[in-house]
Each structure stands twice: as structure tokens, then as C-alpha cells.
Chain A
Amino acid sequence: MLLALERRAERSTAIGIASPVIAVALTLATVAVLFAIIGKNPIEALDVYFLEPLLDPFSLGEIVVKATPLVMIAIGLSLCYIANVWNIGAEGQFLVGAVAGSWLAVRTNGTDAGYWVLPAMLVLGTLAGALYALIPAICKVRFGASEILTSLMLVYVAYYGMDYLVRGPWRDPKGLNFPTTAPFDPVATLPPLFEGSRVHSGTLIALMVVMLIAVMLGRTIMGFEIRLVGAAPKAAGFSGFNADRLVLFTFAISGALDGLAGIIEVAGPIGYLQPDISPGYGFTAIIVAFLGRLNPIGILIAGFFLALTFIGGENAEIAMKVPLDLTKVFQGILLFYVLACDSMIAYRVRLIRGVRKAVPANA
């Protein structure tokens, strides 16, 4: 090997701060060739992808709207991943939460229900998400079935379940039999925070959740357990921490947050239930969780950053007439560079002169 990776003695703060900038620069340099081939200006790409969305109030608001469910889901997932519990079913828990909360909205639609409806919807969504997440958790704890598979398969089940409800019994009676519920009453809707923007109180809820989880992880016994089980499972076992209980707990919290995110999304930006309510938030949030290094503040930043790349990508489609596929390539390459730069915080690359050949011990 000519290049070898070596762990740094201390994580480099310089790279920690500079890494996003370096990543963006490297991405533009790489994509410059691609852009040149199709006749676009890479500098314009920088402006359109990153600067414009940040400088424009509308786009900024939209980034927040998009980042809200991502952050909420990712923070729950981070709990699971820290404990080495692999919840891949966040998307399904999101949908189930949306469905459960929507049930109340549909039931009380048109009646003169009071302001209790919305909080009740949020509670229902949270509970339903938690219960749905407990299914893979119980399968793992009781039967030893891999939670990766069960949680993922249940995503599809949730999707088809919701599809059935929305196309069937929950259809809007005045909707000409098209597959949506009636628009939610105002008491069942999350109001926007500012005039003219779609930013809604769900964002505040998400921020609160992030703070709560940060406190829990850092300052409670449960949080300590979670971190210990992930880092040193044997030590945790010896300390008397029950691994099974942790699996159930982290899945339940994660599912609860996913469900909450789901009903918030439906009661807020959308305003009714339909077959398509998520562009894959549950899966994108996995990226956010790891980009944020499973750390609450990191997740906030990563969620915002990833949402920025989506909005910026759309900007590029409009302003530069770039096809969606190219924005996906851009996004993928950017993620690679961000992850790589991130890695350089903990490791450094060294040039090794002379190669030492490995000899198997029993040769």
C-alpha cells in the first residue's frame, strides 16, 4: 500500500470546521467536467445550489420545512444506532403515525370539534409510531429475528395499509372518489408560524425534541446505558444493564418520534392524507443521522445541510435547466466528499515508503 490511513492522536478541529467548505469545493471541481460537457457554468452552480437558497427567505423557509421531519426522525434513529440497534423502518413508523393521527382528523371532520383535536392527533401519531416500532423490537427480543429485516418489511406493509385506507373508507365524500381524505379542519391543522411561509410549529417541536434527546443522552442513566451498550456491550452486560430493555426502549422512542414527524407533516404542510406523503424521509434521515455523527447538534446541522442540497438541486433544475439526475449525481458526490472530509478529522493519510508484505502465521 502506498497510502495508509492512520488514526490521529486528537481529532483535528481545523478540518472539523473547514470540512464542509472543502467538500463543496471538491464537489464543484469534480462536477466541473460534467457541467462543462453539458455546457453549464460550475461557478453558477455554486451560486444556485448553495448561495441562493440561503439568501432567499422563501427558500430558507422551505429548507426548514424539509429539514424538520428529517431531523426529528434522525434524532430518534441516532438513539437506536448508538445502541447498535438497526431501525431501518423509520419510513413505516412515519406513515403509521400519520395514519393514526389522521384517523381523528377524519372522524371529527366537519363536526364542531374543539381545539383538543390537534394535540390529540399528535399524541395518537406518537403512540402509534411507538407501537409499530415495537413490533420489530419484540421480534428481535423474543424471537431473535433481525430487526433490519422486520423493520424494513413493515415499511411496505404500512405503505399499503395507508394506501388502502385513503383509497377506500377514508375517501373524501366530496372528493369525486379520488384518493384523498377531506381537507383537515382548521382545528386539525398545524398553523404556519409566519405569514407567507410554510414554516410551521412542527419545527419548534422538532427543536424541543432535539434538546430533550440531547439532555437524555448526556445526562440520564438511560442515555448512559444506550451509549454504553453501543460502545461496549459486554461491559454493559456486566453492569447489569438489560440489553433487551434497551432494544425495546430505543425502538419505541424512535418509532414515537417518527410517528410524530408523520402526523406533523400531514397536519402541517400537507393538510390531508393521501397515498403519497413522504419522498423517502425515513431513509434520507438515516443519512442525516450518520452525517450528524449520531450527535444531536450534528443532526440539526446535517438535516439542514441535506435539505439545502435538495432545495439547491431544485433551484438548479429551474435556473440552469439541469436534469434531476444531474442534481442527484451532484448530491451523491457531495455526500461522498463531506463524509470523506469528515473522516479526515479522525484519521490522516500517510505516504508509506516500502511495502511490508504480510506473512500468514501458519505459512
Chain B
Amino acid sequence: MKNRIVVVAAAAIFAVAAATLAAPAAEKLKVGFIYLGPVGDFGWTYQHEIGRQNLVKALGDKIDTTYLENVNEGPDSERSIEQLARTGHKLIFTTSFGYMDPTIKVAAKYPKVDFEHATGFKRAANVSTYSGRFYEGRYIQGMIAAKMSKTGVLGYIVSFPIPEVISGINATILGAQTVNPNIKVKIIWVSTWFDPGKEADAAKALADQGADVLMQHTDSPAAMQIAAQRGIYAFGQDSDMIKFGPKSQLTAIIDNWAPYYIQRTNDVLNDSWKSTDTWGGLKSTLVVMAPYTNMPDDVKKLASDTEAAIKAGTLHPFKCPVVDQDGKTVECKGGDHLDDGQILSMNFYVKGVDDKIPGK
């Protein structure tokens, strides 16, 4: 028994000596990603994955990336995030709102790891937040839609009522109202992020009820295809969906995460990473519009001009006064436009939307 103890002690001393003598090799930075859906969803997660792939292309030999997909937002997510932190990942992107508290919890345990949480609002010394000002793109889409619609009825397919979806609807209507003050919108909640069949059904229902321009805040190209079938227009979402509706797609809002991912990874590599809140829009190219197609030149010009104005900061989709459904003017906290906090937590419909907001 005594011999065994001696042997083990000797081995331990050797191991410690070896470890201290061995110089750490130039290690690659390990970057981790937590995805809500499958990378093949052609929507939200797909674009984050494209961002990751572009990150690898840009910084290839300096980094080593890992991703976990279909991570449920419940108790599993905390474990998954912590697993990435434990296995040496020094920068972790958690790409859905529901990962907010798990990210904060894990971040508290691993102060040396940097976390980036998408679409959230809680930060810490080692947790940043980031998201896209998709409502800027919605505003432009609203203008285009109002120009192109003959019936004056827009169809909107949405999944769940969260503030980002609500601000998207509002921005669309506000944009549309600059062209047609009497524009109408029909909203259908499909209550899922992953059912193309339901999206197709919703698109058919909207078309049947007179909508001739379709917009969506869901992930698949189903609605675009129905639009193509019915000979009406539609907007792509998350990705460019032109090939599913070559004559139908007017434009699409494309999530362009790669530049942000590359920049933040470089920050970690350069040791200059700090906790920030990034809400990038058209100007920072976090949000990119697909080429304007299937529309006459004057509409194209209107769209591009509006895009330029938003980028320049001279036009804000939520410029005051913003009037809600009940006719009340919303308090203007951002000077001449609603401030970020109001947009981030938007929970009312603007005047012009006839439907009742769910869950109020």
C-alpha cells in the first residue's frame, strides 16, 4: 500500500513538473455558437450559421468554432452554454432571446469567457448583447408594399407575439401609410417557428382574403412560393428568397451577422473585447436588403432613397408623433423619434392596424 502511494506521488510530481515546463503552444481561439433551431431551417439559425461559416473563412487558422443546434430554451440551454465554457471556448454566441438568463448565469461562473447574447437586454462585464434593427427594413418594405398593392391590403404572417415582431408590423404600417394612408393589414399568427405547411396555409388564407402583398416574420420560403403560385408579391425574410418567387419577391430582409462576428472575434484575439450593446441596422450592414426586384423604377428609387436616408440618420421609421391604435400619442423619449428602449419593448399597434394585439 505504501509503495502505491509513493508511485502515485511521484507520478503527480512528474506531471506537475511537465506541465509547468511545457510552454503553451499558440492555441487557436475557440468560439462557440448556440443555435435555437437546425442549421438547415433556411431562416434565423441558417443565417447565424452562414455568419459562423464566414467567420471561419475570414479568420480560419486562428480560430476553432463549434456549434450546438436545436438547443431547447429551457434548462438544457444552461447546460449547453456551460459545456462550451468548460471546454475551453472563450467566446460564445447565444443566438436566441430565451437564452438570456442562462447566459447570464453561466457568465457569472466563467468571468474569463466572453458571451454575446442575441436579441436580449441583460448585460454583464463579460456579456454583450447584439441584434439587428430589422424594423428599418420593414419600413422600406411597407412603402414598397403600399406602392405595389392594388387592393390596399397587406398580409402579414407571424409566429409569436414578441416585441421585435410587433415593432416590425408597426414599422411596416408606418412606412406603408406614407404612400397610402388607408392601407390595411391582415395578421395571422401561426404559433410556430418551424412549420412551412402552416405558413403556406396562412399565406393562402391571406391571399383568399384579398391581400396581394405578403410579408412574413417566419422562417421558411413557403409564403413566397404561395405568392408565386397566386401571382401576388411577397417579401423574403432572413434570407434572400428570390429563387422561390422569381417574379414575386420584391426584396428581402437579410440578417448579416458575419461582419459583427468577425469584428467581435478579432476583439477577443486582440484582447480588446468589452461588453457592449450593438443594435445595428442598415447603416452598419447588420441588416441588408436584397436587391429590389419586380417593381417599376420609381418604386425602386423610392426604396433606395429611403434606405439611404435611414442610413444617413435623416429618416427614422418611428419618428414622432407615433399614434397608437387607441388614438393616443405615444410619449416621445428619443427626441424626435421613439428611443431604443421603447422600440425594443414595443407592445402596442400603431393607428391603422385594426387587429387587437395579442396578450395585452
Contacts and interface: CB of A to CB of B under 8 A. Distances in A.
Interface in A214-260: none
B67 to A, nearest CB: 8
B73 A177 contact: no
A269 B75 contact: yes
B84 A318 contact: yes
B358 interface: yes
Interface string A72-87: 0000000000000000
A177 B347 contact: yes
Contacts of B160: 163, 167, 179, 275
A314 B74 contact: no
A215 B178 CA distance: 72
Contact of A276 (B32, B74, B344, B346): B74
B342 to A, nearest CB: 10
A324 B101 CA distance: 24
A306 to B, nearest CB: 14
Interface in A273-316: 274-279, 311, 314-315
A276 B72 contact: yes
A278 B68 contact: no
Contact of B79 (A178, A180, A198): A198
B63 to A, nearest CB: 13
Nearest to A165: B359
B74 A277 contact: yes
A167 B358 contact: yes
Interface in B135-191: 160-163, 191
Given A177-B346, A178-B163, A319 B73 contact: no
Contact of A272 (B38, B101, B360): B101
A198 B162 CA distance: 29
B322 to A, nearest CB: 16
A163 B191 contact: yes
A336 interface: no
A183 B73 contact: no
A177 B83 CA distance: 30
Contacts of A278: 72, 74
B87 A318 contact: yes
Nearest to A277: B74
Given A160-B191, A178-B97, A314-B80, A276 B68 contact: no
Nearest to B35: A324
Interface residues of A, number: 39
Contacts of A164: 359
Nearest to B109: A196
B280 interface: no
B76 interface: yes
Interface string B121-135: 100000000000000
B86 interface: yes
Contact of B161 (A167, A183, A277, A314): A167
Nearest to A169: B359
A279 B101 contact: no
Contacts of B73: 274-276
A279 B75 CA distance: 9
B199 interface: no
Nearest to A272: B101
Contact of B82 (A58, A271, A274, A276): A58
Interface in B289-329: none
B73 to A, nearest CB: 4
B344 A176 contact: yes
A321 B83 CA distance: 14
A60 B344 CA distance: 39
Contacts of B66: 317-318, 321
Given A160-B191, A177-B163, A177-B346, A317 B75 contact: no
B86 A58 contact: yes
A318 B101 CA distance: 22
Interface in A47-84: 58, 62, 65-66
Nearest to A58: B86
B74 A179 contact: no
B331 to A, nearest CB: 15
A342 interface: no
A126 B296 CA distance: 63
A161 B358 CA distance: 13
Contacts of A269: 74-75, 78
Interface string B37-48: 010000000000
A209 interface: no
29 contacts: A58-B82, A58-B86, A66-B76, A66-B79, A163-B191, A164-B359, A167-B358, A168-B359, A168-B360, A176-B121, A177-B163, A178-B97, A179-B161, A179-B162, A180-B98, A183-B101, A198-B78, A198-B79, A270-B75, A271-B101, A274-B73, A274-B74, A276-B73, A277-B75, A314-B79, A314-B83, A318-B68, A321-B66, A324-B70
Given A276-B72, A317-B66, A324-B70, 8 more contacts: A163-B160, A163-B191, A177-B345, A178-B162, A183-B101, A198-B78, A269-B78, A274-B98
